[in-house]
């Protein structure tokens, strides 16, 4: 039933129809799956617009965590008893669901991590230490999250390699001339963000991967902000590494995924040593386990991995194309409405963007705005969004960011706009 209502075409999604659809009782059923949304904050109905930081979780995800602990909590892979077998099967079911979700060739290419940050650190440390040498270059972009900057800075410093940066245009797009200028035969890794968390820009990652391959460079895509919104096909993209976090995909915190091509992962040394990642240990030496276990040292986060399956099922049942179409209609509506506010400037006006409304208002500090909106029950994020170099490039101390998810409505956008109008009156 839900998939029927979500199966809307973009043409159905003009404002009038969007409003009509949002009043539909079946639509209400999608939103009602998120218990946290039904609450008052500071005496007002909560308007949650901080989804790029983390999405809320449907009840089925919350229930999956509790069912795991109530019914089959056990350590995985090593136990022969029934609970251990059930927990192992559930854990591996999620791996298979992730494989299908991103269209990896095999489940062994799906490594569970704590999140995007850990995935990128794994690559920088394990791949970087084995592959980067003095004179080599790592190319990232000027709109990276700190988690796709600092790990590369650290390993470049250690290995004597050079970190280079693709420029960003005033509209908040990658300057592709700068990319082609800077990619050279010395480039060993190109690591770029798929969708900017600060601006919503969708980067041309397929083109970037292809150009990187021509010079023999490896590639990593930071999918933290794209995985909940866009179709992901790592084989079609032909990328070497793709990292994302469950908690931005309606799943729990503390669990994420690093996809890596088997050939690349096989050739890499392990990241951490310990249980699970070994085949045999003696004091003379250790042989390492097969993929993916070679990169999963220690007892993993079983409960949250098991619950991630429910998040993936939730998205799959709604259907990404329909979700995307709906979210785009909200973005268009939000952009139009925000533009009616005097002195407001949308930051990030890329031709290709999703789900993020970042803005600055003349004479008002984002932090003051965020605090005031919270008193109206509206949750937005303010500041540099872990993209300090990007903010510096744009000449801003930070922005106010409203980021959208599938349960947001045009009425919530209206409440944001009303709140902003009031705030502007008070703060100017």
Q: Which residues are catalytic?
A: 386
Q: Using the rule CB under 6 A, which residue among 6, 47, 90, 224 binds ligand PLP?
A: 224
Q: Does 289 bind ligand PLP (CB under 6 A)?
A: no
**Rounded distance, CA 279 to CA 275, Å?**
9
401 is a contact residue toward ligand PLP (CB under 6 A): no
Query: Smaller CB distance to ligand PLP: residue 13 or 380?
Result: 380
Should residue 193 be labelled a site residue for ligand PLP when binding is judged by CB under 6 A? yes
How many angstroms separate the CA atoms of 349 and 201, rounded?
Answer: 8
Site membership for ligand PLP, residue 358 (CB under 6 A): no
**φ/ψ of residue 280, rounded to 5:** -150, 140
Least distance CB 138 / ligand PLP (angstroms): 16
Q: How many CB atoms lie within 10 A of CB 235?
A: 12
What's the min distance (Å) between Cβ of 342 and ligand PLP?
30
> How is the chain split among helix, strand and coil, in percent rounded to 5?
45, 20, 35
- Binding residue count for ligand PLP, defined by CB under 6 A: 12
Contact criterion met (CB below 8 Å) for 216 and 247: no
CB of 78 vs ligand PLP, minimal distance in Å: 28
Q: Identify which range of 89-97, 222-230, 258-266, 355-363 contacts ligand PLP by CB under 6 A.
A: 222-230
Q: Check residue 245 for interaction with ligand PLP (CB under 6 A).
A: yes
Torsions phi, psi for 81 (to 5 deg) = -80, 170
Sign of the CA dihedral with 153 first, then 157, 158, and 162 last: positive
Nearest approach, Cβ of 119 to ligand PLP (angstroms)?
8
Q: 34 to 53, contacts with ligand PLP by CB under 6 A? A: none
User: Any contact of residue 203 with ligand PLP (CB under 6 A)?
Assistant: no
Q: At its nearest, how many Å lie between ligand PLP and the CB of residue 52?
A: 6
Q: Minimum CB separation from ligand PLP for residue 200, in Å?
A: 11
Q: Does 121 bind ligand PLP (CB under 6 A)?
A: no
Distance from chain centroid for Cα 62: 20
**Per CB under 6 A, 301 contacts ligand PLP:** no
Pick one of 116, 203, 400, 408: the residue that binds ligand PLP (CB under 6 A): 116
The residue written with tokens 């308007």 in the block is 47
For residue 115, state whether it binds ligand PLP (rule: CB under 6 A).
Answer: yes
Question: In which residue are the tokens 């600060």 written?
Answer: 198
* CB closer to ligand PLP, 301 vs 409: 301
Cβ proximity of 202 and 289 under 8 Å = no
State the Cα–Cα distance between residues 315 and 317, nearest whole angstrom.
5
Our finding on whether 147 is near ligand PLP (CB under 6 A) is yes
Per CB under 6 A, the segment of 18-26, 114-122, 125-133, 343-351 that binds ligand PLP is: 114-122
Burial 391-427, CB ≥16 within 10 A → b, else e: bebbebebbbbbbbbbbbbbebbebbbebbeebbeee
Which residues lie closer than 8 Å to 125 by C-beta, 6 or more apart? Answer: 151, 155, 271
Rounded Cα–Cα distance for residues 193 and 21 (Å): 33
Q: Which of 173, 222, 304, 310 binds ligand PLP (CB under 6 A)?
A: 222
Minimum CB distance to ligand PLP, residue 128 (Å): 17
E strand or H helix at 305? helix 302-318
Nearer to ligand PLP, 116 or 409 (CB): 116
Binding ligand PLP by CB under 6 A: which of 33, 141, 197, 227? 197
Between residues 102 and 193, which has the closer beta carbon with respect to ligand PLP?
193
Rounded Cα–Cα distance for residues 158 and 133 (Å): 9
Burial grade of 179 (CB within 10 A; 0-12, 13-18, 19 or more): buried
> Which one of residues 57, 86, 99, 145 is an interface residue with ligand PLP (CB under 6 A)?
145
Interface with ligand PLP (CB under 6 A): 115-117, 145, 147-148, 193, 197, 222, 224-225, 245
């Amino acid at each position: 039933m839900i998939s029927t209502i979500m199966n809307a075409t973009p043409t159905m999604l003009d404002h009038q129809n969007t409003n009509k659809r949002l009043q539909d009782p079946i639509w209400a059923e999608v939103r009602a799956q998120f218990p946290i949304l039904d609450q008052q904050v500071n005496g007002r109905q909560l308007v949650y617009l901080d989804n790029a930081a983390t999405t809320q979780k449907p009840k089925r995800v919350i229930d999956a965590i509790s069912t795991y602990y109530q019914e089959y909590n056990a350590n995985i892979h090593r136990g022969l008893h029934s609970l251990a077998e059930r927990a192992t099967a559930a854990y591996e079911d999620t791996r298979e669901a992730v494989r299908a979700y991103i269209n990896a060739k095999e489940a062994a290419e799906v490594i569970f991590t704590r999140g995007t940050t850990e995935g990128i650190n794994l690559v920088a440390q394990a791949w970087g230490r084995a592959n980067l040498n003095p004179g080599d270059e790592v190319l990232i972009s000027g709109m990276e999250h700190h988690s796709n900057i600092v790990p590369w800075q650290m390993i470049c410093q250690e290995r004597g390699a050079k970190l280079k940066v693709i420029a960003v245009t005033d509209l908040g797009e990658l300057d592709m001339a700068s990319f082609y200028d800077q990619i050279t035969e010395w480039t060993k890794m190109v690591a770029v963000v798929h969708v900017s968390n600060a601006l919503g820009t969708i980067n041309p990652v397929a083109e970037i991967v292809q150009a990187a391959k021509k010079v023999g460079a490896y590639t990593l895509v930071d999918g933290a902000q794209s995985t909940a919104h866009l179709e992901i096909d790592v084989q079609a993209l032909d990328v070497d590494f793709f990292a994302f976090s469950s908690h931005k995909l309606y799943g729990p915190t503390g669990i994420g995924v690093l996809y890596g091509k088997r050939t690349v992962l096989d050739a890499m040394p392990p990241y951490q040593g310990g249980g699970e990642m070994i085949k045999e240990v003696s004091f003379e030496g250790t042989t390492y386990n097969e993929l993916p276990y070679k990169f999963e040292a220690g007892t993993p986060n079983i409960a949250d991995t098991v619950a991630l399956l429910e998040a993936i099922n939730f998205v799959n049942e709604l259907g990404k194309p329909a979700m995307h179409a709906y979210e785009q209609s909200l973005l268009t509506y939000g952009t139009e409405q925000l533009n009616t506010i005097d002195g407001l400037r949308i930051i990030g006006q890329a031709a290709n963007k999703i789900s993020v409304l970042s803005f600055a208002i003349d004479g008002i500090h984002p932090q003051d705005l965020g605090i005031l909106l919270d008193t109206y029950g509206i949750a937005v994020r303010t500041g540099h969004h872990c993209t300090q170099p990007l903010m510096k490039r744009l000449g801003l101390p930070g922005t106010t960011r409203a980021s959208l998810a599938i349960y947001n409505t045009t009425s919530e956008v209206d409440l944001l706009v009303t709140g902003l109008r009031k705030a502007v009156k008070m703060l100017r």
